[in-house]
Amino acid sequence: MQPKLEKIPLTLSSSIAVKRETVPYLDYPWHYHPEYEIVYHEKSFGLRFIGNHIGNFSDGDLMFLGANLPHVWKNDKEFHQDRNDLFVDVYVIHFPENALTQGFFNLPEMAHIKKLFALGTQGLLIKGKDHLKIATLVKDVVNAEGIERLLLFLKTLDAMARTKDYELLSGPGYVNSMKTPGTERINTIMNFVTEHYAEEINIEEVARLANLSISSFCRYFKNRTHKTFSQFLNEIRILNACKDLINTDETITQICYGNGYNNISHFNRQFKIKTGLTAKEYKKKHAAT
């Protein structure tokens, strides 16, 4: 997807940019930036799009993103319904590779951090026993100032680079094509699908929304997402079905029809392609955890 270039403001008093956002919901477009990003979602859930990865995220989502890797987090519909009990609390650190002077990360002591930067091209999801320690460090960096912030920042990178429990998200061959304009168009499509995935959606309707012919839209979408529109729509529907299987008492048939499918066999087939399990197996597995 053609992302929007985001300009990260750096101040004269700090080598890195930090922020904590407590907002009703995340409202960023699909975007990229030349800075690396560390992001910790203390409170937030929905769908995340990282390169060519689409997945669910929830409270505690902790990630390291490489330079120019497109990304966006879309909160679930509940966040847009003026519910006072739902809000986003997210901590973010941005920094360029020359944040600590040119060549600093080429020092021998930084070799493991250079490997972290390389892994970040796919988006690194931090998991397991190191998660809490690193999340706490990220919050400490955002809350600190001066040299204390800098020292904590290095500790955070060190801890991320040393953890063995992580997941790479985007495909290793993903390339961000940033030259062709189209940011507003792709964000319009993404917003439409994430809002209406449970309804009947036909490609003619989406092509009109993009102001393209059907054949032009198919080429445009495949070129920018590395997926067909059908694959993209099915992934979003199945990810939401996964959440319903875990969080509701609805039957598999109800979940099938409630997520935009009108054929249980097709739903079951798509579900197994995405998860490797049948919907029944998935529900049983997560009921036992």
Instruction: Specify the pLDDT at position 212.
Output: 92
The CATH fold of domain 197-287: Arc Repressor Mutant, subunit A (1.10.10)
For residue 45, give the DSSP letter: -
- Tell me the three state secondary structure of residue 146: helix
Start-end of CATH 1.10.10.60 domains in the chain: 197-287
**Beta-strand relationship, 124-126 and 166-168:** antiparallel
Flag the least confident range among 6-20, 79-93, 96-110, 160-174: 6-20
CA dihedral 255, 258, 259, 261 (to 10 degrees): 90
> 260-268 long-range contacts, Cβ below 8 Å, gap at least 24?
260/197, 260/198, 260/199, 260/200, 260/201, 260/233, 261/237, 262/200, 267/241
Cβ atoms of residues 180 and 49 within 8 Å: no
- What CATH architecture is 4-168? Sandwich (2.60)
Angle (CA) 180-6-78 rounded to 5° is 100
Cβ atoms of residues 195 and 77 within 8 Å: yes
User: Residue 176 and residue 155: Cα distance in Å, rounded?
Assistant: 30
> The sheet that has 36-43: what strands, in order across it?
17-23, 88-95, 36-43, 61-65, 124-126, 166-168
Beta strand extents in 84-179 (DSSP E only) = 88-95, 124-126, 166-168
Query: Which secondary-structure segment (H or E) carries 114?
Result: helix 111-119
Quote the pTM value.
0.83
Start-end of CATH 2.60.120.280 domains in the chain: 4-168
The two tokens of residue 182 are 């189209």
For 247-267, the pLDDT digits (tens) are 899 999 999 999 999 999 999
Reported confidence tier of residue 31, pLDDT bands at 50, 70, 90: confident
The two tokens of residue 286 are 């997560």
Letter string b/e over residues 211-228, b meaning 16 or more CB atoms within 10 A of that residue's CB: ebeeeebbebbeebbbbe
Q: Reply yes or no on whether the pLDDT at 82 is more than 90.
A: no
Instruction: Specify the pLDDT at position 6.
Output: 63
Question: What's the mean pLDDT in 30-42?
Answer: 93
Question: What's the mean pLDDT in 25-40?
Answer: 91
User: Residue 107 and residue 115: Cα distance in Å, rounded?
Assistant: 13
Question: What's the mean pLDDT in 88-110?
Answer: 89
Q: Reply yes or no on whether the pLDDT at 279 is more than 90.
A: yes
